[in-house]
Structures are given as C-alpha cells and as structure tokens.
Amino acid sequence: MRWSSLLLAALVATPAAARPVPTEATQASAPIGVAAAQIFERDWVLMNWALKTHDTDRDILLSAREAQAAADAFRAIADGDEDGRVTPTEYRAAREFILARY
C-alpha cells in the first residue's frame, strides 16, 4: 500500500517536472554557456568565426569562457532589433554577414 502510493505519486509528479514546456521566455533565459557551445558545435561557419575572433589563448578550442564571449559578440551582431533574442531570420542574416566578412 505504501509503495504503490509512492509509485503513483512518482508517476503523477514526473511528467510535468521532466518536460518543462519550452517557451520563448525560457529559451531566452537559458544558461548561455551551454547554449553558446551548442551554437558553435552546430555551425562550422560560426565555429570558424568564433575561433578566429575569440580563441584568446590560440589552442584551437573554445573554452566555456571563450564560447560565452563569442556568443555575446554573435548576439550583438545578430540581434538587429535589439530585443534580446536572435530569431532564425536574424541568425541567418548574421551568418551571411560573418561568412562574407571573415
């Protein structure tokens, strides 16, 4: 009886806790160190640029700190309307800009 009610509680509690609904607000406030690294791992254009401009110790790796700085710089370039978020359109425009310039 005790165990089954515990199990039931776990089953009821888990879905909401394990799957937070990804809203634009939570994406914008996500820890940027993690998000930063992912941006550059996904896109070689940005990775190249980040290494050229923010690999301060020249070890051809982006440390968390370097990735953070690069992500901040990328956001500054990309967020054309300065609303604090980079939309897919802004992202593409910034990528083109970086590709052409660097």
Q: Please report, as ranges, the residues that interact with Ca ion according to CB under 5 A.
A: 55, 57, 59, 61, 66, 79, 81, 83, 85
CB of 64 to Ca ion, least distance (A): 10
CA distances from 68 to 11, 32, 39, 44 (A): 38, 7, 11, 17
Q: How far is the CB of 62 from Ca ion (least distance, A)?
A: 6
14 or 89: CB nearest Ca ion: 89
4-20: b or e for each residue (b if 16 or more CB lie within 10 Å)?
eeeeeeeeeeeeeeeee
Kindly state the tokens that stand for 99: 């590709």
Q: In angstroms, what is the minimal distance from the CB of 45 to Ca ion?
A: 18
**For Ca ion, the closer CB: 18 or 82:** 82
- Is the Cβ of residue 8 or residue 76 nearer to Ca ion in the bound state? 76
- Between residues 43 and 55, which has the closer beta carbon with respect to Ca ion? 55
* Nearest alpha carbon to residue 50 among 30, 34, 33, 73: 73
Q: How far is the CB of 84 from Ca ion (least distance, A)?
A: 7
